[in-house]
Amino acid sequence: MQQWISKLSEAKVGSILPNEPMAKYTTWKIGGPADAVIVPETVQQLQQLIRILHEEKVPWMLVGKGSNMLVSDLGIRGAVIKLGKGLEGSEFRGTEVEADGGASVVSLSIMAGKRGLTGMEFASGIPGTVGGAVYMNAGAHGSDVSRIFKSAEIVLETGELVSYNAEQMEFAYRHSILHEQNGIVARAVFQLMEGDRAEISSSMAAYKDRRRQTQPLQQPCAGSVFRNPPGDHAARLIEAAGLKGYRSGGAEVSEMHANFIVNTGQATAEDVLTLMSHIQTVIASKFEVNLVPEVFCVGER
């Protein structure tokens, strides 16, 4: 066992799973082993965990629902942090909701709707955590996290716990300051508004029906693979290029939604990367548009 893993075990920072396959933690069902997956259950454990990793100079990364991530076939060197059940809570206070970083965005949006609170309907189909949604400024249906975000408690790479407001988060399209400043969202506060329960329920039902009809949710995938270029949609370009159904090994451009790549059963990370590169090359050649990946490609290459 590596020295840093032993040190984490002695510090009781949560469950420690050495040599853990990352395919278990991603919606693509792809990924080699991490040196260790650590599951803290409290903010204090998370802070201590980060402090030790910082002192030992061990690289680390966070995984939420694994819905926007492609892990290499060789896995991840260093630590992967997965927030445990103790960091999945939420509390509603009037029109505000405070949620832990590991809380499900879908569950939170459903609970808000049942309370007659509007503002989170867009998130009812985002299969991620609160922390991941804040990190990515996740969005759909013309809205995103930045429109409801109030503040967050963030554990910095030194283990320090700080509070950031919306301005400090520097939100942009699928971006926040956490892309440049390594940190983990421990808790976030969202400002919602009072609304009509029936209207909220109707909107969420319509979004759900639309997803079922247009997205390959029955197959392992990671949502939209590429960001929409200004004034256009990546799916439209990929479909116009005739790439629906195009395959590389076990990875295939979905016949249902051209900006989704599905794992047909035995896809590897290299299959997905090869397919992504082919799509980018074809779109650049046909339309002079450079598609930028929305998924994160991580791990040893």
Q: What is the pLDDT of residues 116-143, one digit of tens each?
A: 999 999 998 888 899 999 999 998 888 9
Element (H, E) at 300: none
Active site residue 72: no
pLDDT at residue 246 above 70?
yes
Contact call for residues 57 and 67 (beta carbons, < 8 A)? no
The phi-psi region of residue 195 (left if phi > 0; otherwise alpha if psi is between -120 and 50; otherwise beta) is: beta
Q: What is the pLDDT of residues 139-167, one digit of tens each?
A: 888 899 999 999 999 999 999 999 999 99
pTM check: above 0.85: yes
pLDDT at residue 177 above 60?
yes
Q: What is the pLDDT of residues 64-89, one digit of tens each?
A: 999 889 999 999 999 999 999 999 99
pLDDT at residue 215 above 80?
yes
Q: What is the pLDDT of residues 40-71, one digit of tens each?
A: 999 999 999 999 999 999 999 999 999 889 99
Catalytic residue among 98, 153, 252, 294: 294
Catalytic residue among 224, 248, 252, 254: 224
d(CA 12, CA 256): 46
Catalytic residue among 20, 124, 174, 176: 174
- The sign one gets for the Cα dihedral 103, 173, 278, 298 is negative
pLDDT at position 1:
54
Contact call for residues 17 and 37 (beta carbons, < 8 A)? yes
Which residue carries 């809205």 as its tokens?
Answer: 143
Active site residue 294: yes
